[in-house]
Each structure stands twice: as structure tokens, then as C-alpha cells.
Structure 1
Amino acid sequence: MLSSLATIALMALSASAHYTLPKVNGGGDWQQVRRADNWQNNGFVESITSPQIRCFQKSTAGASASLNVTAGGTVTYSASPNIYHPGPMQFYLARVPDGQSVNSWSGDGAVWFKIYGEQPNFGGQLTWPSNGKSSFSVKIPSCIRSGYYLLRAEHIALHSASTAGGAQFYVSCAQLGVTGGGNTEPPNKVAFPGAYDANHPGIKININYPVPTSYQNPGPAVFQC
């Protein structure tokens, strides 16, 4: 039987291999990002049918502030401590309906459109540029309407994804106030849960052997102005 110290050490090692996505543009942890349910244990969402796949929250508790950004500007999302596992970073936006509060809006329904999907490097093994990084910048489309948005950051860890349910989803949602936008309404909006299939080749995949020569990101195509 493991001693209590050995058990604690194993738990610490397990937690250190995981991570959170807690802040944007150098702000404090969970200030402009809604506090995700993994804020204390660095855990992940396992089921794509769980409501937590949206913002990793059992509730719809808002952040204490929102980040103001100009359409066409850049938001830098931070990971803590860093992206430990291989897999793609993806970003989605959802506009808060006029008359509703960004602090309480749930993001329910087919309201999300993708603005970034990371592709891997191919070679002797499949690697993603995000692996090992602690910050990632994403451009807010210049043509979208002004207003309040949820920015959903998602990292899909694929190191154990050779069977359905093996992928790990690290997710959080930042609150944005977008100004200076256009009048374009993005197509191909999806819902979370609902956007992903557990057997999608970008979610159920053996990245180790045989080494894939292509990769298909789950979800809709990336929206471009």
C-alpha cells in the first residue's frame, strides 16, 4: 500500500500534468475569464455531451470584469502553468443577445462560431505549436458586430485519444466587450454541447502510431471576414 506521502506526491504529479486557461491580456486569474470548475484541480472535461464542454462551468456565474477590445484587435489567452499535452488550440466566439447581460448569459444554443483552429506539424511525430506554451494570441474578426461576446478557449489533449472518450478538453470562457465592429453575421454556428462527435477523427485519433499524415480539426470551418 502506498504511504500517504507517496499518494500525495502522485496526486501532485497528476495535477501538474494538467492546466487551466484562467486569464486574458495579462489580467488576473479569473477576473475577465469566468472561473472554470477546474480552477483548483486543473482537471479537464471528458464528455463532449456534458454542458461543461461549453465553458467548463456547472453554473453560468460571470467574471468580475470584461475585457474591452476593438474588432480586428488581438486577445492573448494564458494557460497555467502551460499546455502540457499535444493537441490543437481552438477559439470560438458567441455574441451576447442585445438586452442580455454578459455576466449571466449562458451561451446556450447554436450561437458559437470558430475563429481559430490550430494545425499540427507533420513528420516523425505529430506535434502542435501550442505544446509547452503558456500564452496564445487570437485575432478578433474585424467585421463582426460590436457588442458583448464570450470568447471560448479550448485545448484538446490527444495523448490518450486512441479510443472514444480518451481526449481531454481544457476549456474556459472570457467576457469581451467588442467595439468598432462591422455588420457581418457569421454562418456555421454550433452549440456546445452538440458541436462534436466522440468518433470524429480529430477527437478519436492515435497520434503516436502509425503517425498520422493529416489532421482534421473538430467543429465548423474557421470564420473569416
Structure 2
Amino acid sequence: MLATSFILLGAAALGVNGHYAFPRVGGGSDWQQVRRADNWQSNGFVADVSSAQIRCFQSSPAAASASLNVTAGSTVTYYANQGIFHPGPMSFYLARVPDGQSVSSWNGDGAVWFKVYHEQPNFGSQLTWSSNGKTSFTVPIPSCIKAGYYLLRAEHIALHSASTSGGAQFYISCAQIGITGGGSTDPSNKVAFPGAYKASDPGILININWPIPTSYKNPGPAVFTC
């Protein structure tokens, strides 16, 4: 019985350590310029793509204490609190805060999000993603978008259990950033969260283990480019 208890405790610890969060951008501290997600202590995930938590992983949206200032055409570094443990794609979205509203109170509701990056797998004897094991990610900020305040949404989809509906795990957070410079482009291919994904999307409901896929379609819109 004692040996069984040790095995169960070890498995539980492994499960916790296998999860992660995205608490930091730039040179700030954890949850300073990133809105504190509901997994800030648990490293948990969102499984229901129709939940409001699929937006920024906040059941009650609350602002970060500061915003990160960046220049259009540059990059932002987004950090995980430990290495990405599960296979699956990393993606980043932006949503511009409407003029006259505050980044501290705007919740990103509606079809306002456009994708600036998503990751494709490497194909072979198995599907692998270059995000596996990484703790930081370079996010491109398009050079042509309007200046202003934005929410920057980080999302990693863990696909190791995605062969059944609801099995994909979404690790998400949103940073507050102020973009200077830029141009006048307002991307047209925008989506809402929730709404952008369905549980049956082929990039969400997929068995990556067998038979080994020979293609992969990222969920959501195409990546915006200037």
C-alpha cells in the first residue's frame, strides 16, 4: 500500500510539473505586464473552446499593473514559467484597444483578434514542434499596424491527448502592450474568442500518435502579414 501511495504521489507531481503558464513579457516581472491568468498558481489549462476563458484564461478579467512599450516592426519576447512540456503549436494574436478606451479595462470582446504567428510541426516518424522545451518566444509585431494599445495573446495547444473531443489543452495568457510607430493598416481577417475555434477543428481534434499525420492545419485564421 505504501509503495502504491508513492507511485500515485509521483504521478501527481509529474502531472503538475508537466503544465505551464505564460506570465511575463519583455524585461518585466511575472504578471506585471501580463494579465494574471487563472492558472497563475496551478499551471492548469483550458479545455473548452467555447468558454470565455479561451480568450485570456481569466474567469473575471482583471488588468495587469503595467503595459510594455514596443515599436511596430520590432519583436516582443514572451516567457513561459517552465519549458513547454507537451507537443503542439505555439500561436500569438493581437487585438487593438479601441480609441477612447483603456487597456486596463478593455476585455477584448468580439471579432477583434488577428494572428501574427503560428507554428508548424516537423513531419517524420512523429510530429514534433520546435516550441517543445522552450521557455521564451520571439513575437513579431507587424510594421504596418496602427499605433495604440493592444492585448497580445499567447497560446500553446497541447495535443498529446487530443484524439477525443475536449482532449486538447490550451495554455493561454494576455499581455498589455503599447505600440508606437507603425502605419495605418487595420487587419481585416479578425476573429473572436470564444468563436474562433470549434472542438471539431482538425488542428484541435487530432490523433498525433497513430497513424502519424502527414499534414497539420492550425486552427483559427491565417497569419496576418503587412
Q: Which residue of 2 aligns with 1:71?
A: 72
Which deviations, in whole Å up to 9, do the C-alpha atoms of 1:184-206 show, x marking residues without a partner? 01011000000001111100001
Q: CA deviation at 1:109?
A: 0.4
CA distance in 1, matches of 2:117, 2:199: 21
Q: Which residue of 2 aligns with 1:141?
A: 142
CA distance in 1, matches of 2:39, 2:57: 8
Q: Which residue of 1 aligns with 2:218?
A: 217
Taking only the aligned residue pairs, the percentage that are identical comes to 74
Q: CA deviation at 1:4?
A: 7.1
Q: CA deviation at 1:8?
A: 4.8
Task: Specify whether residues 176 and 212 from structure 1 end up closer, same or farther in structure 2 by C-alpha distance, changes over 3 A only.
Answer: same
Aligned-partner residue type, residue 23 of structure 1? R
Q: Which residue of 1 aligns with 2:159?
A: 158
CA distance in 2, matches of 1:26, 1:157: 27
Q: Which residue of 2 aligns with 1:55?
A: 56
CA distance in 1, matches of 2:5, 2:36: 30
Q: CA deviation at 1:12?
A: 2.4
CA distance in 1, matches of 2:31, 2:87: 24
- Note the 1:120-139 alignment, pairs <5 A: 120-139=121-140
Q: CA deviation at 1:6?
A: 6.0
Partner of 1:80: helix, strand, or coil?
Answer: coil
1:89 to 2:90 alignment: yes
Q: CA deviation at 1:10?
A: 3.7
Q: CA deviation at 1:163?
A: 1.0
In structure 2, list runs of 5 or more residues that go unmatched.
none
Which deviations, in whole Å up to 9, do the C-alpha atoms of 1:74-121 show, x marking residues without a partner? 001111111100000000000001111111111000000000110000
Aligned-partner residue type, residue 73 of structure 1? S
Q: CA deviation at 1:122?
A: 0.5
Q: CA deviation at 1:176?
A: 0.3
Q: CA deviation at 1:157?
A: 0.2
Aligned-partner residue type, residue 70 of structure 1? T
CA distance in 2, matches of 1:138, 1:145: 17
Partner of 1:137: helix, strand, or coil?
Answer: strand
Q: Which residue of 2 aligns with 1:41?
A: 42
CA RMSD of aligned residues (A): 1.3
1:205 to 2:206 alignment: yes
1:11 to 2:26 alignment: no
In structure 1, list runs of 5 or more residues that go unmatched.
none
Q: Which residue of 2 aligns with 1:24?
A: 25
CA distance in 2, matches of 1:59, 1:147: 24
Name the TM-score, length of structure 1 as normaliser: 0.97
- Shifted more, 136-145 versus 10-19: the winner is 10-19
CA distance in 2, matches of 1:174, 1:208: 33
